[in-house]
Structure 1
């Protein structure tokens, strides 16, 4: 199941992404964390350091070559764009599978498998859009055959920037992390309004709650979308200062209320039923949007023809 964490910058979405990933890993569940934020801090939040595996964003041509496979609708890797959907002949991947992409790009941080999109480098400054790097994540999720009991946790870009691409439609459930402040819930309203248009389910996770007044404020502002909340955490502060230990087992010292909140998040994810038709329908819709907006003109091809009619990944023939 695919899970995204979004929220205002500073809300704690990276911290929650890391805590949830560590919670899953501690239970023995197969989990892959992906740092899709412009500020690459997930490895540190997981209790590790920099990931030794190369970033996805620096190897997009090779990733396209792999995922293209023998798909006759895609004449070359250069003809692929970030939204190109899979079709018959495409290379589909299993989470943490024995393939070139996972072998090359998965490192570990705090005992959790992790892939990163990569940071801006000097050649990107002033001329590149960060979302071009996120294209590798969008392609990866579009060609992923994950199932129940398998978890992919993505720390997304801050604010409403996630809507700058179709990546926001690639998840089974999106957790919006909100502090109990007016600024904290403003991103919730933006995300809610955009998500409703596409039938994307979001659940709000309150963070840094210090008392009943904070909790009441969140309930008044987000209503039934509030799934659970985490209280102010000395353990998290100690972890941020390098004093809480690393690895999934270190989570045993997290405050009981916060450990329970993580269990509620997992219950919510596990209760979701994968809708392959919806995922693929959104993939095709955003691919055609990009085709008409810029991709045909840039590539000189008819990229709408990359859509394989009546094909839906995960339908059984791909498994």
Structure 2
């Protein structure tokens, strides 16, 4: 299952992405965390004392990624003809989660016991000439060519605010967790997400965070309603961890917060993956991009990259 964490900057989405990923990994589940935020802090959240070494970022190797994924697909003659929304078809190379392939071998490292991929930072050379979504295109292509199975999880820490809806990446997930503080600004971001998500049939679940008492919880229930899945209390353990002082064992987290992580996993597991819907969204956003800018930018009719006979999901591996 693919899970996104979104929310207002400072809401705690990166911290919750890390906690959720660590809890999954501790349970023995196969999990991959991906840092898709312009502020690359997921590695630090997974392990504050991690060394500075890292695998090469996906965003810096987009051409190589395209070349690998297009495989022998006759509809994609070159990496230059492939854009971030190009869907797989017959001949494309499909990926299994943490499989034995060059993408995972090159771009994954373990941090805090969790396999991690990063998109890469927005560097000085990008200023004024590129947007961060050009780097996120690598994550979009990765998820578009991934065939994940039962008991496998991809957890993506997304960009903050409604900017997460600026590309088709937001439609690549089975469930999106919207992390919301009990404040007016926090719930205003929730309303933006809710409206965008409803337009495209995207499933969201709200996670209240930094709750300090019954008044905070009642505030969230009043403004979020049935979309509120669970909440986490303000956590001294998390604050200590961020200061490098906490007991490293995640089971030392406060009981309410451990319970919330369990509820979140149950929510993910409760819904079977809808391969046709994921592929339908992928094709829809590809056609939108082709007509809006990509046909003109590449000088090609990219509508022709859609393989009408391609069946997404496990069947495609055969």
Residue 86 (structure 2) aligns with: 84
Residue 173 (structure 1) aligns with: 175
Residues 19-60 of structure 1 deviation map (CA, whole Å, 9 limit, x = unaligned):
000010110111000000000000000013445200000000
Contact 1:32/1:96 (8 A) holds in 2: yes
Report how many aligned residue pairs link the two structures. 316
1:50/1:69 Cα in 2 relative to 1: closer, same or farther (>3 Å)?
same
How far apart are 1:245 and its partner, in Å? 4.7
1:208/1:49 Cα in 2 relative to 1: closer, same or farther (>3 Å)?
farther
TM-score (norm 2): 0.98
Q: 1:140 is matched with which residue: 136, 139, 142?
A: 142
Residue 298 (structure 1) aligns with: 297
Contact 2:17/2:156 (8 A) holds in 1: yes
SS in 2 for 1:190: helix
Distance in 1 (CA, whole Å) between partners of 2:294 and 2:311 is 23
How far apart are 1:312 and its partner, in Å? 2.6
TM-score (norm 1): 0.97
For the pair 1:187 / 2:189, whether they are aligned, the reply is yes
Residue 239 (structure 2) aligns with: 237
How far apart are 1:315 and its partner, in Å? 5.3
Distance in 2 (CA, whole Å) between partners of 1:105 and 1:260 is 32
Residue 34 (structure 2) aligns with: 34
Residue 219 (structure 1) aligns with: 221
Distance in 1 (CA, whole Å) between partners of 2:247 and 2:43 is 14
Residue 43 (structure 1) aligns with: 43
How far apart are 1:316 and its partner, in Å? 1.4
Residue 273 (structure 2) aligns with: 274
SS in 1 for 2:257: helix
Unaligned runs of 5+ in 2: none
Contact 1:30/1:149 (8 A) holds in 2: yes
RMSD, aligned α-carbons: 0.9
How far apart are 1:318 and its partner, in Å? 1.9
Residues 49-108 of structure 1 deviation map (CA, whole Å, 9 limit, x = unaligned):
445200000000000000000101001111000000000000000000000000000011
Residue 200 (structure 1) aligns with: 202
Contact 1:43/1:49 (8 A) holds in 2: no
Contact 1:51/1:109 (8 A) holds in 2: no
SS in 2 for 1:180: coil
